[in-house]
Amino acid sequence: MRLRSLRTHIALLIIMSVSLLAGCTIAPPDSPPNATPPSTQTPVPSEHVDPAWRFPAAPDVPRETLPSIVDVVREVRPAVVSVMTEMVGFDLFSQAYTQEAAGSGIIIDSTGYIVTNNHVVERAQDIQVEMVDGTTYGASIVGTDALTDLAVIRIEADGLPYAALGVSDDLAVGEWVVAIGNALGEGISATEGIVSRLDVSVRVGGNTLRDLIQTTAAINPGNSGGPLVNMAGEVIGINSVKVASIGVEGMSYAIAIDGARPVVQSLITQGYVTRPWLGVSLYTVDRFTARINQLSVDEGALIVEVSENSPASDGGLERGDVIVEFDGRTIRNTDQVLQAIIDSDVGDVVEIVYVRQQDRLTTTVQLRESPAPWD
């Protein structure tokens, strides 16, 4: 009964917490009758998954700094694409309608693999990719990863121009960079700026993006998924988010390419990213949640669902339990559980302290490899 009450208030207030690493997603409100949003459809492996795929070999000689921003844009622009998507939305009367959106992507090899943001293609029913010369291709999703906001799509083409990838660990604060993408859906454009900060974390929609590059280069709607490049014309980041509020300027963020590489590799070679897995869906406990659901604690991570045959179920965790400690770390919200799992390895045995009604209990679980999303 208490969990039903929680879900009702989530639906009414449109409050959602997303922590995908541990399978930690609060269930969305019920779908309209006779309609199934794409996000609830059972994932299937992409036909474009290629276990043998590798990034194109880097040149033996380091790329030299180009003379000007004009030269940088000229070098990279042929590999930057506009990504147009269509998805189904529902109005207040549960009537389906088609939503259109625009983003960007960067071609990473000659056979048509394109890196973009997860939020650009999430729930898309149709994806079109437009090249710099105006040629348009239909695209298929190869794999997505909500935790890092990365996705790989592919078009049926060959001999394509592709971007060179740099090393984001070599970046320095103050270094010039250029963001290229389909800003505002009006075609490929470029903006320049400097690196403001490195290794930044930003919370976006209930998920925390980590290992970001903060830059003064303007990243506007439509730029998402496009490249952030250095003055050698190398991709050192994937443009992702911008902080937009009154009095805030020059705070745009890109996913560092060094952290993106292994994610992209996994998405292409197996269609998903393997990580340690607990097997629970969680919701952050606060005073409001605790009062509504008559919980005995007002901080922690409330278990909304436990996956069958998961480490959590093997450890005796149940719906309604509140995780308050994970392997010695105090837990106040779902993001802290997520970070604790990120810092663990597959096979680690961890101690979890949780509250069940009035009792404070302890269990140990062995984290396993996350299953494929279609299993």
Per-residue pLDDT, 2: 45
Looking at the structure, do residues 23 and 59 belong to the same domain, yes or no?
Answer: no
List the single range of 93-97, 101-105, 215-219, 336-340 with lowest mean pLDDT: 93-97
Asked if the structure places residue 237 within a domain, the reply is yes
Annotated catalytic residue, options 149, 321, 327, 335: 149
CB neighbours (10 Å) of residue 182? 27
Q: d(Cα 19, Cα 123) in Å, to the nearest integer?
A: 17
Per-residue pLDDT, 348: 96
Boundary-marking domain end, from 258, 283, 318: 258
- pLDDT tens-digit map of 329-362: 999 999 899 989 989 999 999 999 999 999 999 9
- pLDDT tens-digit map of 203-216: 877 678 889 999 99
List the single range of 57-61, 160-164, 343-347 with lowest mean pLDDT: 57-61
Task: Assess whether pLDDT exceeds 80 at residue 101.
Answer: yes
Asked if the structure places residue 37 within a domain, the reply is no
Contacts of 148 (CB under 8 A, 6+ apart): 118, 209, 255, 259, 260, 263, 273
Looking at the structure, do residues 159 and 171 belong to the same domain, yes or no?
Answer: no
Task: Assess whether pLDDT exceeds 70 at residue 5.
Answer: no
Asked if the structure places residue 123 within a domain, the reply is yes
Active site residue 201: no
Looking at the structure, do residues 49 and 151 belong to the same domain, yes or no?
Answer: yes
Residue 297: give its domain's CATH number.
Answer: 2.30.42.10
Active site residue 9: no
pLDDT classification of 243: cutoffs 50, 70, 90: low
Looking at the structure, do residues 23 and 73 belong to the same domain, yes or no?
Answer: no
Per-residue pLDDT, 288: 92
Residue 230: give its domain's CATH number.
Answer: 2.40.10.10
Asked if the structure places residue 292 within a domain, the reply is yes
pLDDT classification of 244: cutoffs 50, 70, 90: low
Looking at the structure, do residues 297 and 362 belong to the same domain, yes or no?
Answer: yes
Asked if the structure places residue 38 within a domain, the reply is no
Per-residue pLDDT, 40: 45
On average, the pLDDT of the chain sits at: 85
Q: How far apart are the first and last CA of the chain?
A: 30
Boundary-marking domain end, from 210, 244, 270: 270
Asked if the structure places residue 35 within a domain, the reply is no
Q: Higher model confidence: residue 42 or residue 114?
A: 114
Q: How many domains does the chain have?
A: 3
Asked if the structure places residue 300 within a domain, the reply is yes
Looking at the structure, do residues 244 and 278 belong to the same domain, yes or no?
Answer: no
Looking at the structure, do residues 114 and 182 belong to the same domain, yes or no?
Answer: no
Looking at the structure, do residues 54 and 145 belong to the same domain, yes or no?
Answer: yes
Boundary-marking domain end, from 258, 282, 301: 258
Task: Assess whether pLDDT exceeds 50 at residue 246.
Answer: no
Which value, in Å, is the radius of gyration of the alpha carbons in the chain? Answer: 22
Annotated catalytic residue, options 17, 46, 104, 119: 119
Asked if the structure places residue 99 within a domain, the reply is yes
Q: d(Cα 274, Cα 207) in Å, to the nearest integer?
A: 18
Boundaries of domain holding 128: 44-163+263-270
Burial of 232: CB neighbours in 10 Å, binned 0-12, 13-18, 19+: middle
One-letter amino acid at 196 equals S
Per-residue pLDDT, 28: 29
